[in-house]
Amino acid sequence: MEKIDLVEITSENLEKIKKIELDILIDIDRVCKKLNLIYYLCAGTLLGAVRHGGFIPWDDDIDIQMPRKDYNYFIEHAGELLAENHVVSSYSTEKEFIGDFFKVVDCRTKFVEISTRKRNITKGIYVDIFPIDGVPDNKLSRNFRSFKISLLKQRISNGYSINELYKKRSFKGKIYNSISGLFTFFISPETATKKLNVFLSKKDYPDSKYVMVESKYKRLYDRDIFGKPSLVMFEGLYFYAPSDIKGYLEKQYGKDYMIPPPSDKQTSHHYCCELDFGDY
């Protein structure tokens, strides 16, 4: 198995990464306002805003979500409005990009992760943007869609360079990986990415009682949790968040979301093997 040396993210480097990501977020916020697009801070970014007033101290990323219509429009039209050093990296803008999300990347920097090191995509410090998609009201229909989505996502996952990460999976996870791979063996990760994004778009967000993000059926949200964006302070600036912030965070993390995890769980989830801030 190929051995890959990880970059140690020092506290100084972590602060630089956060500063660059915040600059990207400010730019995304500006462009969304100009294009009249909706976005919401989400996941650990929103949790950090509520619990810490900004970044979770040990975290190193920013995540946002957009309703599918706004998400697609941003990919198609934001590139010409973003700052010169910020580029959209997605399956529709870069041939080897795979996944059910896109990134806005600072192309002056280099941030190479184990999972994408062998793919010819823009590799810099970035902000992740995930679509919010509608789901059927009928539980049986949802289960069928969930099965198909999981197969396509697994094929995409198998397209990453995961030698160093695969061994971290549970035995059950490795078995599922092998079995699901048989169903999608004859399509490429790039084709699986296109199929997944088309399939996820079939149920319109505004017409759905429930919605999902990151194409995860195990955690459905009432659409009204998102609704009209509210404002939340993040690193001294105001950004948009779901209408029901408390409802979102309880669904995502449980009712004790304000309690930080034990110290041994306070780690970043990125595996960086090359880091360069360029002339930043």
Residue 91 makes CB contacts below 8 A (sequence gap 6+) with 97, 98, 99, 102, 190, 193, 194, 197
**Domain ranges (residues) in the chain:** 11-133+213-276
Check residue 121 and report its DSSP letter.
S
Tokens of 220: 């459905």
Beta bridge pairs of residue 129: 64, 102
Residue pLDDT, tens place only, 180-210 = 555 555 678 788 788 888 877 877 767 788 8
State pLDDT tens for residues 110-149. Answer: 999 888 888 888 999 999 999 999 888 888 888 888 888 8
Angle of CA points 182, 185, 194, to nearest 5° = 125
* CA distances to 114, 150, 155 from 181, in Å: 21, 11, 6
Listed residue (167, 164, 169) closest to 6, CA to CA? 164
Q: Where are the beta strands (DSSP E) in 17-125?
A: 40-41, 63-67, 86-89, 102-106, 110-113
Asked if residue 159 lies in contact with residue 189, where contact means CB atoms within 8 angstroms, the answer is yes
Structural tokens at position 278? 């360029």
pLDDT digits (tens, 9 = 90+) for 217-250: 777 899 999 999 999 999 999 999 999 999 999 9
- CA distances to 13, 60, 91, 111, 271 from 266, rounded to whole Å, are 17, 11, 32, 21, 15
Name the architecture of domain 11-133+213-276.
2-Layer Sandwich (3.30)
